[in-house]
Copies of this chain bind each other. A is one copy, B any other.
Amino acid sequence: MPDQGDVPQPTINRLPVYLRILKAAAREGLETLSSSDMERRTGISSDQIRKDLSYFGEFGKPGTGYSVATLLGRLMNIMGLDREQPAMIVGAGNLGAALTGYPGFAEWKFRVAAVYDNNWSKIGRRLWDLEIWDIQGMAQRNRKMGIEIGIIATPAEAAQAVADTMIKAGVRSILNFAPIRLEVPARIAVRNVDMTLELHVLSYRRKEKDRTAQPPKRTKPQ
């Protein structure tokens, strides 16, 4: 197997897509899937798919394709999804509440195991089945819990301080919903979900589309 250090980021971003369609195929009872089958389900070219998978090993059988069960298992392992992943959320506002209760997380072994806030009126109250804890006590609490995934659902102003606190408490991966660029040590992985930014891009694209005639073709790269 090649060194995973040099896997291109676009490839890594596509792995979860493969995971998802493999899971669907497994549910449908399919035993194998060729790269062309996968192209049909993902919109990603079969060439690209074979290339992506080849970074991690040889999983397919010429003439047949990929065993759904095997590839699913291997990818889960490669991505570290073969054991449960506890996460903490900071920010018990509307967004934090929605994320804490989001059913899509549990489906993939992510479990929100702690919710923190700095607001006295929220600390001690319940959010779903969790008590909201004081962010001040995070370092202490997390010594025992050892959560390594942090989700930031606070306003932009608070986000950097929250990130710093998380990192001190042992968090190594951050999913940031605040519209701000976090400064973190290089060893910390950060992904940003920036909803306003996405709307801005849409706003631009819409203007752009006004000027070009449209062939009525379905399905396109997004």
Residue numbers of A with Cβ under 8 A of B are 4-5, 7, 12-13, 15-17, 19-20, 42-43, 78-81, 85, 87, 93-95, 97-99, 101-105, 107-108, 110, 148-149, 155-156, 172-175, 179, 181-187, 189-209, 211-212, 214-220, 222
Q: Are A214 and B186 in contact (CB under 8 A)?
A: yes
Q: Are B186 and A216 in contact (CB under 8 A)?
A: yes
Knowing A102-B94, A212-B5, A214-B187 are in contact, say whether A198-B203 is a contact too (CB < 8 A). Answer: no
A194: chain B residues within 8 A (beta carbon): 16
A179 contacts which of B20, B78, B208 (Cβ < 8 Å)? B20
Knowing A80-B206, A202-B191 are in contact, say whether A217-B108 is a contact too (CB < 8 A). Answer: no
What separation, in Å, do the CA atoms of A5 and B210 have in the docked complex? 11
A200 contacts which of B15, B103, B156, B185 (Cβ < 8 Å)? B15
